[in-house]
Amino acid sequence: MASFPYADDYPVHRTLPERGESRAEILAMMADLASREDPTWETGQCSGTMYCGDHEHYDFLNQAFSHFSHVNTLQRDMCPSATKFEAEIIAMTLDLLGAGGLTGTPAGLITSGGSASIAHAVLAYREQNAGSIDRPNMIKPETAHPAFDKAGHLFGVEMRIAPVDPQSAQVDLSWVRDHVDANTVALIGSACNYGYGTIDPITELGELALELEVGLHVDGCLGGFILPFGRELGYDIAPFDLSVPGVTTMSADTHKYGYALKGTSVLCFADRALRNSQYFYLPDWSGGKYCSPGMDGSRSGGLLAATWAAMVQLGRSGYRDYAHQIFETAAAMREAVRSHDELRIIGSPSFLFSFTAPDFDVYHVNDFLRTRGWRLNGQQYPNALHMAVTRPQTRPGVVERWATDLADAVDYAVAHAGDAAQSGAIYGGVAGGPTAETDDLIKFFMADMMDQQQSIPD
């Protein structure tokens, strides 16, 4: 039981309480738990995940959410506001991502997050070709997010994995060309990818897609709401959005650098026919004629309201200012890495970066950084550490702390080069865990970890 969260401080509910508990006590407990957990990122030492990191902004979004939290967006006659928020979020995102000059009819779909947007893109390409292709495939750079593999698994679309150049960490275009066949429905590029923050050559992928007459999805889940402002500010970022000829869909997560609450993302389509291809209809169901735009049925109007509120309140200048701070902070943090000959930054990243250590296991660096409160993400093949710079890192003193702690961590790693490191590569978790086991053992370990997170307390 000791491992069950907060079991020492609060009663564990194994059954529904017979008599309801007081609202005040419930809220007091939640405030206590949140106040214990927030300091893990408030220091600015946690990679990614808390994109805005500003409690005033969160309070504002929570107020917006509260007006519509109880509303089900399925019942549009009761909440035309949901149509207003949804349509305007899509319009603003399409505009931001270069849909303005397109000749087709650009369209969008709001989903529950990046993985869901990617899943819907994969589904749309499958459905668009359903009449002519039985066994569709798509080609993704190895560095593209596992959400593509998951979607392929769910929807029966084969994911062909293109290698990336080890220096640039960008997709190998000739491999892609060689592996397109009559069953290929779309190519994939990232702007930018999760692991290294590098952007695939989208213009060249677009040319290939047009030549070979296949779709092209750009995964801007991470970059979609920050890279446009980076380009506007003059950072060296190649074109990556819907304005690039050949790009047919692009995902961009409002719940990341869009600074909205967790639970929304926008999937943009260069043409609405592709979006409409994945709608689900059941016209002859006894419960009534059924149609849904995405995988969800009921959805809370609160999330649409909060997302709309974040976008409209920040405006272009707000996003631009945040992007500027983040790009400058990322550059300063990278400089600290570059000041150590032992470390190597992978590729040419922008606002997130990853580094490895050719002569020792970089997980030693992480072992030490963890003792100083840093929470970086571990990666593998090669072992590397990833830092997605968000607003908490832009606070005063964080870059200086990074430089000092990193220098001490490199000293520690050099001194412990012969030992086994403790850290490992677990996506979305603190970088700790098994490092050199076989795939079967790792699957066992991960299944066990999932199981523990869902299990009933004894």
Ligand X SMILES: Cc1ncc(COP(=O)(O)O)c(C=O)c1O
Residues in contact with ligand X by the rule CB under 6 A: 113-115, 145, 147, 190, 193-194, 219, 221-222, 253
- As measured in angstroms, the least distance from the Cβ of 115 to ligand X is 3
- As measured in angstroms, the least distance from the Cβ of 194 to ligand X is 3
Backbone angles phi, psi at 378, to 5 degrees: -85, 145
The residue among 89 and 222 lying less far from ligand X, judged by its C-beta, is 222
Cα-Cα-Cα-Cα dihedral sign, residues 408, 409, 413, 414: negative
- As measured in angstroms, the least distance from the Cβ of 226 to ligand X is 12
The residue among 150 and 160 lying less far from ligand X, judged by its C-beta, is 150
Which tokens in the block code for residue 263?
Answer: 């639970």
The residue among 113 and 392 lying less far from ligand X, judged by its C-beta, is 113
The CB-nearest residue to ligand X is: 114
The residue among 142 and 342 lying less far from ligand X, judged by its C-beta, is 142
Query: 220 Cβ partners below 8 Å, 6+ apart?
Result: 97, 190, 191, 227, 240, 241, 250, 251, 252
**CA geometry: angle 241, 315, 313, nearest 5 deg:** 135
Backbone angles phi, psi at 12, to 5 degrees: -95, 130
- As measured in angstroms, the least distance from the Cβ of 449 to ligand X is 17
- As measured in angstroms, the least distance from the Cβ of 145 to ligand X is 4
The residue among 57 and 386 lying less far from ligand X, judged by its C-beta, is 386
- As measured in angstroms, the least distance from the Cβ of 221 to ligand X is 3
- As measured in angstroms, the least distance from the Cβ of 216 to ligand X is 16
The residue among 217 and 275 lying less far from ligand X, judged by its C-beta, is 217
- As measured in angstroms, the least distance from the Cβ of 220 to ligand X is 8
The residue among 126 and 145 lying less far from ligand X, judged by its C-beta, is 145
- As measured in angstroms, the least distance from the Cβ of 411 to ligand X is 32
- As measured in angstroms, the least distance from the Cβ of 225 to ligand X is 12
- As measured in angstroms, the least distance from the Cβ of 149 to ligand X is 11
Number of neighbours of residue 229 by Cβ within 10 angstroms = 23
- As measured in angstroms, the least distance from the Cβ of 147 to ligand X is 5
The residue among 147 and 426 lying less far from ligand X, judged by its C-beta, is 147
The residue among 148 and 308 lying less far from ligand X, judged by its C-beta, is 148
Which tokens in the block code for residue 457?
Answer: 């307390």
The residue among 194 and 402 lying less far from ligand X, judged by its C-beta, is 194
The residue among 129 and 307 lying less far from ligand X, judged by its C-beta, is 307
What is the spatial distance between Cα 76 and Cα 85, in angstroms, rounded to a whole number? 12
The residue among 146 and 417 lying less far from ligand X, judged by its C-beta, is 146
What is the spatial distance between Cα 155 and Cα 191, in angstroms, rounded to a whole number? 24
Smallest Cα–Cα separation from 363: which of 424, 428, 430, 297?
Answer: 424
